[in-house]
Amino acid sequence: MSENFESVAAIFGKNVFNDVVMRERLPKNVYKEFKKTISEGRFLDVALADTVANAMKDWAIEKGATHFCHWFQPMTGLTAEKHDSFISPTAEGTTIMEFSGKELTQGEPDASSFPSGGLRATFEARGYTAWDCTSPAFIKETGRNITLYIPCAFCSYNAEALDKKTPLLRSMDALNKQATRVLRTLGNNTSQSVGATLGPEQEYFLIDKRFFEKRLDLMLTGRTLFGAATPRGQEMSDHYFGALHERVASFMHDVNVELWKLGVSAKTQHNEVAPAQYELAPVFSTVNVATDHNQLVMETLQKVALRNNLVCLLYEKPFSGVNGSGKHNNWSMVTDDGINLLEPGSTPHDNMVFLVMLCAVLRAVDKYSKLLRASVATAGNDHRLGAHEAPPAIVSVFLGNQLTDIIEQLGEGGAKESKANGHLKLGVSVLPPLPKDCTDRNRTSPFAFTGNKFEFRMVGSAQSTSGPMFVLNTIVADVLGEIAEELEKSTNVKTAAQKILAKISKEHRRVIFNGDNYTEEWAKEAVKRGLLNIKSTVESLKTIMDEENVKLFVNHNVLSKAELKARTEILLDSYSMSINIEARTALNIAQRQILPAAIEYSGKVAKTIESISNAGTDPSAQKKSLVRTCELISELQNSIDELKKAATVASGIDNTVKRAENFRDYVIGAMKEVRKAVDGLEMTVDAKMWPLPTYAEMLFIK
Ligand code: ADP
Ligand code: MG
């Protein structure tokens, strides 16, 4: 039977060394000890690791694996892997398959070619990978290659984090510690730990592969640097949630099967707002596993697309004029015994745990808004944030009427009631009255409460969720720490908690905004409230090293000052590099494809004019067209020269901040001028001679 007909239950997690497999294959005492090690967050001892490794190897070999690899997430935001085979030669000239505990738990890849932001001198090449046993190992089939993947953290010879996973794990520890402290003071003596949960909604575009291959800009930069607007865009709102096209539906099916095998619970899929835009959302899991899984989601989307002669574009803004893509991060805190700390219940006003957690998040978001903003600052995301299609760069929180009312009551001497939610009456007798949710959906808010979780909507589609999530975990941990401090020393916890909530309500109410975040009025109102509107990536990244941020990360053991500095350098550098690649690609296309096509076309028109004149007819209409084309050609030539100059100056600057500023202030503008000329020519030159697939072709041909 083909795999398509295997039941989902049979497929799901079949390539994961998960709990069921472990229970089956590990000796009972080893299994128990291993689980205990994970839940207590301890190191794995060597003997235990040997047994686990052996069981893992046998399982992997039965599935056809010949290799294992330490799979990690360097600061590129992508994943990295180095494969080793299980083969071990014997003295008799044969071979046996071996995999030791040491090989499982630790690797030593050469780190010298990964970005380190100056943390590691090039001669100190050694880096270490360490097994993160909280994220299960899995088997990946790539073509005929079958390999055991071991999720790992990655650090330097001096144990400094060089990856995205380490700070995330550290931030989970911090949140666990502080949230548990708060729970204890509020009388919860049963929950042993608190974890952060994440459900990331992944948006992406799909286009036909034959168009992609003709667009150097998409291939090298992830976005179109040129392209006149399509006569039809998204104005009819007919794509969102529209019926899936057959080819796309088949693609989604293949993606689901691949992801289910890897234990990724891909659940929701639909058309998004822009033509050719789609979304996939998994069921949420712990933030660490969800982050690993999101990397697998992005990889699988791209891999399966190719198999279907499609290309998946993950970039934040592949096409101008239609919506870009984000990655909404749904986040909450949950105890080991299953209590969602952001669950309001039916009477939120007297749910003290919920109110404390809610207020902690409010204060954290307001107090550290610059850091949250910086966690989503990338060159790609600059096209989205504040462009009236995604949240603005102003960080605010949507709470909805009921909770906003409660927060106000808290500031005025205590919350006494929760506004009723009521029912929606549809006016059709056969339809039941629908219970109304206590919060509406506010699609324009950067940070929205959505029933029992927050949705951080500023995250870009191509980003790793690690950065935004370790920032969020850490800032909330910090505020929970402050609250625990107060509550632990108080004699009357209830009064003390009410005092804290009243103070937070008064100080941080300004960050609540339930209206339309896309409007000019809000931008003005935000200024009055003292909220920041940091529009560019460079401006935002410059705030990371502020003293309060350094203190925050150091205090909670999430990042040392040197690690934070290194990360900032890497982010700034990667901003400059991506704009530089865009500039060079734009120049390449403009000079080698557009100019020649436009010149050839103008020559053809000139010849036509000559023949028309020779025939004794008036060629003035053709002349008009030629003049316009020639004007555009000269604009293009001038703008190419300007862009060359600007890019050369910017790339020659040594200082990382100044270089990034220069790219932002001069190179981006110069690229826009080239685009203006090219897009003008697209509307003038004969379509048959135009070298690039157009927006209409890419967005509408399925
Ligand atoms: P939307 O209506 O916002 O598009 P989706 O159904 O597409 O919602 O996605 C919502 C995401 O939120 C899913 O990934 C879901 O699993 C996740 N989610 C639900 N509850 C929680 C929670 N407690 N913590 C984290 N994520 C959650
Ligand atoms: Mg959704």
The structural domains of the chain, with segments of one domain joined by +, span 3-163, 171-177+197-226+235-420+452-559, 575-700
CB 510 within 8 A of CB 520: no
pLDDT at residue 415, as a whole number: 84
How far is ligand 1, taken at its centre, from the CA of residue 450, in Å? 9
Q: How far apart are CA 511 and CA 507, in angstroms?
A: 9
Q: How far apart are CA 21 and CA 594, in angstroms?
A: 58
Both tokens of 677, joined, read 């000329």
Please name the residue whose Cα sits nearest to atom 17 of ligand 1: 199
pLDDT at residue 47, as a whole number: 87
Q: Which residues does 168 contact at the CB level (< 8 Å), separation at least 6? A: 287, 288, 291, 466, 469, 470, 473
Q: How far apart are CA 411 and CA 409, in angstroms?
A: 5
User: Above 80 in pLDDT, residue 251?
Assistant: yes
Please name the residue whose Cα sits nearest to atom 19 of ligand 1: 284
Distances (CA, A) of 605 to 228, 530, 557, 682, 684: 22, 59, 69, 15, 11
How far is ligand 1, taken at its centre, from the CA of residue 306, in Å? 28
pLDDT at residue 109, as a whole number: 80
Phi-psi region of 276 (alpha: psi -120 to 50; beta: other; left: phi over 0): left
Q: How far apart are CA 547 and CA 632, in angstroms?
A: 50
Q: How far apart are CA 278 and CA 275, in angstroms?
A: 9
pLDDT at residue 85, as a whole number: 93
Q: What mean pLDDT is predicted for residues 516-540? A: 95
The atom of ligand 1 lying closest to the CA of 281 is: 14
- Helix (H) / strand (E) element for 488: namely helix 466-489
User: Above 90 in pLDDT, residue 126?
Assistant: no
How far is ligand 1, taken at its centre, from the CA of residue 513, in Å? 21
CB 317 within 8 A of CB 204: no
How far is ligand 2, taken at its centre, from the CA of residue 328, in Å? 8
How far is ligand 2, taken at its centre, from the CA of residue 279, in Å? 7
The atom of ligand 1 lying closest to the CA of 283 is: 16
CB 532 within 8 A of CB 369: yes
The atom of ligand 1 lying closest to the CA of 279 is: 7
Buried b (16+ CB within 10 A) or exposed e, 564-597: bbbbbbbbbbbbbbbbbebbbbbbebbeebbbeb
Look up the CATH architecture of domain 575-700.
Up-down Bundle (1.20)
The atom of ligand 1 lying closest to the CA of 452 is: 23
Tokens 């603005």 belong to 392
How far is ligand 2, taken at its centre, from the CA of residue 203, in Å? 9
Both tokens of 527, joined, read 């200024």
How far is ligand 1, taken at its centre, from the CA of residue 232, in Å? 32
How far is ligand 2, taken at its centre, from the CA of residue 516, in Å? 19
Percent of the chain with pLDDT over 70: 95
Q: How far apart are CA 508 and CA 370, in angstroms?
A: 15
Cα 242-380-278 angle, rounded to 5 deg: 15
Q: What is the fold, at CATH topology level, of the domain defined by 3-163?
A: Ubiquitin-like (UB roll) (3.10.20)
Q: How far apart are CA 600 and CA 593, in angstroms?
A: 11
User: Above 90 in pLDDT, residue 647?
Assistant: yes
Please name every residue paired with 327 in a beta bridge, in sequence order, or none if there are none. 202
Q: How far apart are CA 519 and CA 613, in angstroms?
A: 56
CB 68 within 8 A of CB 99: yes
Ligand nearest to the CA of 290: 1
Give the start-end residues of each E strand in 314-403.
327-335, 397-398
Confidence of residue 1 (pLDDT cuts 50, 70, 90): very low
Q: What's phi and psi for 554, nearest 5 deg?
A: -70, -45
Confidence of residue 121 (pLDDT cuts 50, 70, 90): low
How far is ligand 2, taken at its centre, from the CA of residue 535, in Å? 26
Confidence of residue 435 (pLDDT cuts 50, 70, 90): low
pLDDT at residue 390, as a whole number: 87
Q: Which residues does 239 contact at the CB level (< 8 Å), separation at least 6? A: 271, 272, 273, 274, 275, 276, 277
Q: What's phi and psi for 65, nearest 5 deg?
A: -75, 140
Please name the residue whose Cα sits nearest to atom 13 of ligand 1: 199
User: Above 70 in pLDDT, residue 294?
Assistant: yes
CB 166 within 8 A of CB 128: no
How far is ligand 1, taken at its centre, from the CA of residue 463, in Å? 18
Q: What is the fold, at CATH topology level, of the domain defined by 171-177+197-226+235-420+452-559?
A: Creatine Kinase; Chain A, domain 2 (3.30.590)
The atom of ligand 1 lying closest to the CA of 331 is: 25
The atom of ligand 1 lying closest to the CA of 451 is: 20
CB 609 within 8 A of CB 622: yes
Ligand nearest to the CA of 289: 1
Please name the residue whose Cα sits nearest to atom 5 of ligand 1: 281
More confident residue, 125 or 162: 162
The atom of ligand 1 lying closest to the CA of 334 is: 23
The atom of ligand 1 lying closest to the CA of 332 is: 24
Ligand nearest to the CA of 332: 1
CB 581 within 8 A of CB 575: no
Ligand nearest to the CA of 278: 2
Q: What is the pLDDT of residues 56-74, one digit of tens each?
A: 999 999 999 999 999 999 9
Confidence of residue 118 (pLDDT cuts 50, 70, 90): confident
Distances (CA, A) of 346 to 343, 408, 410, 438: 9, 18, 17, 9
Quote the mean pLDDT of the chain. Answer: 92
How far is ligand 2, taken at its centre, from the CA of residue 459, in Å? 14
How far is ligand 2, taken at its centre, from the CA of residue 266, in Å? 12
pLDDT at residue 422, as a whole number: 55
User: Above 80 in pLDDT, residue 518?
Assistant: yes
The atom of ligand 1 lying closest to the CA of 328 is: 3
pLDDT at residue 3, as a whole number: 47
Q: Which of 201, 202, 297, 334 to mutate to test the pocket of ligand 1 (most atoms within 8 A of CB)?
A: 201
In this structure, the number of other CB atoms found within 10 A of the CB of residue 510 comes to 15
Secondary structure (3-state) at 306: helix
Rg (alpha carbons) of the chain, rounded to whole number? 28
Confidence of residue 437 (pLDDT cuts 50, 70, 90): low
Q: How far apart are CA 206 and CA 415, in angstroms?
A: 49
Ligand nearest to the CA of 469: 1
Q: How far apart are CA 64 and CA 578, in angstroms?
A: 40
Q: Which of 284, 342, 465 to mutate to test the pocket of ligand 1 (most atoms within 8 A of CB)?
A: 284
Ligand nearest to the CA of 271: 2
pLDDT at residue 117, as a whole number: 85
The atom of ligand 1 lying closest to the CA of 340 is: 23
Ligand nearest to the CA of 443: 1
Report the sign of the C-alpha dihedral through residues 254, 257, 262, 267, in that order.
Answer: positive
The atom of ligand 1 lying closest to the CA of 200 is: 14
How far is ligand 1, taken at its centre, from the CA of residue 392, in Å? 22
Cα 7-12-14 angle, rounded to 5 deg: 110
What global pTM score does this model have?
A: 0.94
Cα 306-312-315 angle, rounded to 5 deg: 145
Q: How far apart are CA 626 and CA 261, in angstroms?
A: 59
Both tokens of 209, joined, read 């592969």
Confidence of residue 453 (pLDDT cuts 50, 70, 90): very high
Q: What is the pLDDT of residues 154-211, one digit of tens each?
A: 988 788 898 999 999 999 999 999 999 999 999 999 999 999 999 999 999 999 999 9
Secondary structure (3-state) at 171: helix
The residues placing their C-beta within 5 Å of ligand 2, an ion, are 201
How far is ligand 2, taken at its centre, from the CA of residue 659, in Å? 37
Q: How far apart are CA 409 and CA 403, in angstroms?
A: 10
How far is ligand 2, taken at its centre, from the CA of residue 686, in Å? 41
Which residues form ligand 1's pocket by a CB distance below 6 Å? Answer: 197-199, 201, 268, 281-284, 330-332, 340, 452-453
| Among 16-25, 127-136, 226-235, the least confident range | 226-235
pLDDT at residue 442, as a whole number: 74
Q: Which of 201, 283, 330 to mutate to test the pocket of ligand 1 (most atoms within 8 A of CB)?
A: 330
Please name the residue whose Cα sits nearest to atom 2 of ligand 1: 441
If we measure between CA atoms, which residue out of 124, 151, 128, 126 comes closest to residue 138?
A: 151
pLDDT at residue 386, as a whole number: 82
More confident residue, 382 or 270: 382
Q: How far apart are CA 676 and CA 580, in angstroms?
A: 19
Q: Tell me the residue type at 245.
A: H
CB 183 within 8 A of CB 272: no
Distances (CA, A) of 493 to 353, 360, 430, 483: 12, 16, 50, 11
More confident residue, 602 or 44: 602
If we measure between CA atoms, which residue out of 107, 8, 123 comes closest to residue 67?
A: 107
Q: What mean pLDDT is predicted for residues 315-319? A: 97
Q: How far apart are CA 119 and CA 163, in angstroms?
A: 12
Q: What mean pLDDT is predicted for residues 392-415? A: 92
Q: Which residues does 463 contact at the CB level (< 8 Å), separation at least 6? A: 77, 327, 376, 378, 381
pLDDT at residue 4, as a whole number: 52
Report the chain's terminal Cα–Cα distance, integer Å: 30
